[in-house]
Amino acid sequence: MAEPVLSVQHLVKRFGGLTATDDLSIEVMPGELHALIGPNGAGKTTAIGQIMGEITPDAGRILFLGEDVTRLSTPARVRRGLSRSFQITQLLEDDTAEDNVALAVQARAGHSFRFWRDAFGDARLRGPARAALEGVGLPPARWSLPVADLSHGERKQLELAVALASGPRMLLLDEPMAGLGASESLRMTEVLRGLKGRIPMLLVEHDMDAVFSLADRISVLVYGHCIASGTPDEIRQDPAVRAAYLSEEERV
């Protein structure tokens, strides 16, 4: 069996009395699209935060491409190839869509202690930025608009383009379809399907149609603990998942 790209081992995170991540272990294999599902408050976003280094876990290890990254800062992990999108978009609101992506390209290109050359006309930044925007299907007419003027769906697309532009060796996607309309959701699903196989992904998502049509493997999180992990078919038939997940869903 191949080495996993990402291996999360016995991760624990407590906030006061609340255990947000409870002995969580998951693996993402090369080329795999691994979905992480679970009811609200199951600790999915907290898990992504810990994998990215934004939140420090209380216990456990995170291995990325065989290297222990548990103690590394977020920028250091990004430079090693981890990249995420945010559920609540974190974009540079005054800048245009293209500038947002170009900045990620620039960050990947090395240090930015360059004070003289005009970065707005730099083809080495603009080319890859436009490629990434094209890749997520944002229409070129929208590229030169400030982010503040984009629709929610467009911002979600842009989120993904920015995450892709940092040249990831693995993507962590935090609810890329949250708040999207039906047609937008379908389009996003197709974009992810296009990426599938090329970049390993950990996908947190509530849209079950998307999850079951895209994922190679699904892990189910309840109260910060992984209760089941398997192929979509296995998960669909798992009685524990049905009980825990569906009843939770109904209660919410």
Partner 1 sequence: MHRLWRDERFWAVLLLALAALVPVVAPLLGSPATVGLATRIAIYAIAASSLNLILGQGGLVSFGHAAYFGLGGYAVGILYAHYASGEPFLGLIPGSNDLLVTMPVAILAGGIGAAIIGALSLRTAGVQFIMITLAFAQMLYFLFVSLKAYGGDDGLAIRRVVPVLGMNLRDPATLYWIALGLLALWLFLMDRIGRSRFGRILAGVRQGERRMAAIGVRTYPYKLAAFTIAGMGAAMAGALMVNYLRFVSPDMMHWTKSGELMVMVILGGLGTLLGPVVGAAALVSLEYTLSGLTEHWQFILGPILLLVVLFARGGILGGLRRLAGRPRQHQAQPLPPEELPSGELPPGDPVAERAAHG
Q: Which is nearer to partner 1, 108 or 225 (CB)?
A: 108
Q: How far apart are CA 105 and CA 121, in angstroms?
A: 14
* CB of 2 vs partner 1, minimal distance in Å: 26
Name the residue among 41, 104, 101, 85 with its Cα closest to residue 178: 85
- Please identify which residue in 148, 240, 243, 246 interacts with partner 1, judged by CB under 8 A: 148
Q: Which is nearer to partner 1, 10 or 15 (CB)?
A: 15
Q: Per-residue DSSP letters for 117-154?
A: S-GGG-HHHHHHHHHHHHHHT--GGGTTSBGGGS-HHH
Q: How far apart are CA 48 and CA 27, in angstroms?
A: 13
Name the residue among 54, 45, 71, 58 with its Cα closest to residue 19: 58
Q: Which is nearer to partner 1, 83 or 229 (CB)?
A: 83
- Please identify which residue in 31, 60, 137, 146 interacts with partner 1, judged by CB under 8 A: 146
Query: Does residue 162 bind partner 1 (CB under 8 A)?
Result: yes
Q: ∠ at Cα 107 (104, 110), nearest 5°?
A: 150
Q: What is each CA distance from 84 to 52, 56, 126, 214, in whole angstroms?
A: 8, 16, 21, 18
Q: Which is nearer to partner 1, 92 or 227 (CB)?
A: 92
The two three-digit tokens of residue 118, written as one number:
């005009």
- Please identify which residue in 12, 63, 119, 131 interacts with partner 1, judged by CB under 8 A: 119
Under 8 Å between Cβ of 228 and 242: no
* Residues between 175 and 214 that touch partner 1 (CB under 8 A): 175, 178-184, 206-207
* Residues between 212 and 241 that touch partner 1 (CB under 8 A): none
Name the residue among 36, 18, 26 with its Cα closest to residue 62: 26
* Residues between 23 and 52 that touch partner 1 (CB under 8 A): 40-41, 43, 45-46, 49, 52
| Contact positions vs partner 1 (CB under 8 A) | 15-16, 18, 20, 40-41, 43, 45-46, 49, 52, 54, 73-76, 78-79, 83-84, 86-88, 90-95, 99, 102-104, 106-108, 112-120, 122, 125, 145-146, 148-149, 151-154, 162-163, 165-166, 175, 178-184, 206-207, 252
